[in-house]
């Protein structure tokens, strides 16, 4: 409740959260919101302008662009959230184990993470696609293989910081089991760090999956996906730029909302940042009043 109250104080963060929620709801219930089937071809309506039946017009096969935008939410956003959850879950488990138990367990987990992180993300994804073949499922598998190590390393650092606190050491000395200590004392204090790094990764992953689909390595036709829609509209980008405008704006809007929400969530979870932000706003207000008084005195 406190986090939600702090979050609602940030208007931009609240609007961004609403945009994300609405996008997810529309994507989940796409058959209800989409006016037409996304794969329905009408060659007679090829590159038709917007109308009451087709609000955003039609693409090179006469398909409804609005319907394809709505169905494109599923691979572009919803599946990204599923992959993010799996990656964070794997990274959290290994990060907690490595950061709490230390020793050989920590060394083993970190060497595996170092190996995974030694390859650039796009190179690893291309390698997975080269082995498993193109397709959305293989890109999602590649994302899991790339992201879990990054989450494990960051979460491990956070766990090591809190594991050295006095009350955790006292709990160990009292004979409380390690699992209970992690569950009751470590997980609650590291939740804010996990939430922030997870939310900050959503926008990046949406851009990456759209980028791979734009290159033809992600979801394949006739399925709808925002990056693939941009690729399909390249041939008419100068004669009919509105064909690229809709999927491009969809990507920009959702990614921007995720980034703004991540910033607002970080401030809401950290009281120090709230105090600093309020103090900065007060200083700016005072400075503005002083400048106005000087300007009036000069007149």
Alpha carbon distance 47, 57 (integer Å): 7
Give the pTM. 0.81
Per-residue pLDDT in tens (0 to 9) along the chain, 299 residues: 566 676 777 788 889 889 999 999 999 999 999 988 888 888 888 888 888 888 888 888 888 889 999 999 998 889 889 999 999 999 988 988 888 888 888 888 888 888 888 877 778 888 888 888 888 888 888 888 888 888 888 888 888 888 777 877 777 777 778 788 888 878 877 887 888 888 888 888 898 888 888 888 877 777 888 888 888 888 887 778 778 888 989 999 999 999 888 888 887 776 554 544 455 454 445 454 544 555 455 54
Strand partners, 58: 64
Please report where in the chains the tokens 């963060």 appear, as a residue. 13
pLDDT of residue 120: 78
Cα–Cα dist 20/13, whole Å = 11
CB 138 within 8 A of CB 128: yes
pLDDT at position 25? 94
Contact 63/42 with Cβ under 8 angstroms? yes
């Amino acid at each position: 409740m406190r986090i939600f109250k702090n979050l609602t104080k940030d208007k931009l963060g609240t609007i961004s959260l609403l945009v994300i929620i609405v996008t997810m709801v529309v994507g989940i219930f796409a058959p209800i919101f989409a006016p037409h089937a996304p794969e329905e071809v009408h060659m007679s309506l090829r590159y038709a302008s917007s109308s009451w039946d087709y609000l955003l017009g039609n693409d090179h096969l006469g398909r409804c662009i609005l319907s394809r935008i709505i169905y494109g939410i599923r691979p572009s956003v919803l599946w990204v959230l599923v992959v993010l959850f799996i990656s964070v879950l794997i990274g959290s488990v290994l990060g907690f184990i490595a950061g709490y138990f230390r020793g050989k367990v920590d060394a083993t987990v970190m060497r595996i993470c170092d190996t995974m992180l030694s390859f650039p993300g796009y190179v690893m994804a291309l390698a997975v696609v080269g082995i498993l073949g193109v397709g959305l499922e293989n890109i999602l598998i590649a994302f899991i293989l790339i992201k879990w190590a990054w989450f494990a390393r960051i979460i491990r650092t956070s766990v090591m910081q809190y594991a050295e606190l006095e009350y955790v050491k006292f709990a160990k000395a009292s004979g409380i089991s390690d699992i209970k200590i992690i569950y009751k004392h470590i997980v609650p204090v590291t939740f804010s760090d996990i939430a922030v790094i997870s939310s900050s990764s959503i926008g990046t992953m949406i851009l990456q999956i759209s980028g791979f689909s734009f290159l033809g390595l992600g979801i394949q036709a006739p399925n709808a996906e925002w990056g693939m829609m941009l690729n399909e509209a390249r041939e008419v980008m100068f004669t009919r730029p509105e064909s690229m405008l809709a999927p491009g704006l969809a990507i920009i809007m959702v990614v921007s909302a995720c980034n703004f929400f991540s910033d607002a969530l970080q401030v809401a979870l950290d009281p120090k940042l709230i105090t600093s932000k309020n103090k900065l706003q007060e200083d700016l207000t005072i400075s503005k009043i002083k400048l106005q008084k000087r300007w009036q005195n000069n007149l």
